[in-house]
Structure 1
Amino acid sequence: METMILGYNEFEGEIPVEFGNLTNLKYLDLAVGNLGGEIPAELGRLELLEIMFLYQNNFQGKLPAEIGNITSLQLMDLYDNMLSYEIPAEITQLKNLQLLCNQLSGHVQQ
Structure 2
Amino acid sequence: MQYLSLGINALSGELPEELGFLTEIISFAIGGNNFSGPLPSGLGNWKRLTQIYMDASGVSGAIPPTFANLLNLEALWASNNEFTGRIPDFIGNLSKLTILKFEGNSFQGPIPSTLSNLTSLVDLRISDLLNGSSSLDFIWNMKNLSKLVLRNNNISGSIPSNIGEYQSLSLL
Shorter-chain TM-score above 0.5: yes
The letter of the residue matching 2:148 is L
Number of residue-to-residue matches in the alignment: 110
Structure 2 Cα separation of the partners of residues 84 and 77 of structure 1: 17
Q: TM-score of the superposition, structure 2-length normalised? A: 0.58
Moved over 3 A (4+): none
Q: TM-score of the superposition, structure 1-length normalised? A: 0.88
User: 1:51 aligns to what?
Assistant: 99
Corresponding position: 1:79 with 2:158:
no
CA RMSD in angstroms comes to: 2.0
Structure 1 residues 19 and 83, CA gap change in structure 2 (3 angstroms):
farther
**Do the aligned residues in 2 keep the contact of 1:21 with 1:45 (CA within 8 Å)?**
no
Corresponding position: 1:107 with 2:157:
yes
User: 2:16 aligns to what?
Assistant: none
Structure 1 residues 53 and 83, CA gap change in structure 2 (3 angstroms):
farther
Ranked by relative contact order (alpha carbons within 8 Å, sequence separation 6 or more), the top structure is 1
Give the superposition deviation at 1:88.
5.1
Q: Secondary structure at the match of 1:28?
A: strand
Give the superposition deviation at 1:94.
1.1
Structure 2 Cα separation of the partners of residues 57 and 31 of structure 1: 6
Give the superposition deviation at 1:84.
4.1
Structure 1 residues 107 and 17, CA gap change in structure 2 (3 angstroms):
farther
Consecutive unaligned residues of structure 1, counting only runs of 5 or more, are: none
Structure showing the higher strand proportion among its residues? 1
Pair member with larger Rg: 2
Give the superposition deviation at 1:82.
2.2
The letter of the residue matching 2:61 is G
Q: Secondary structure at the match of 1:61?
A: coil
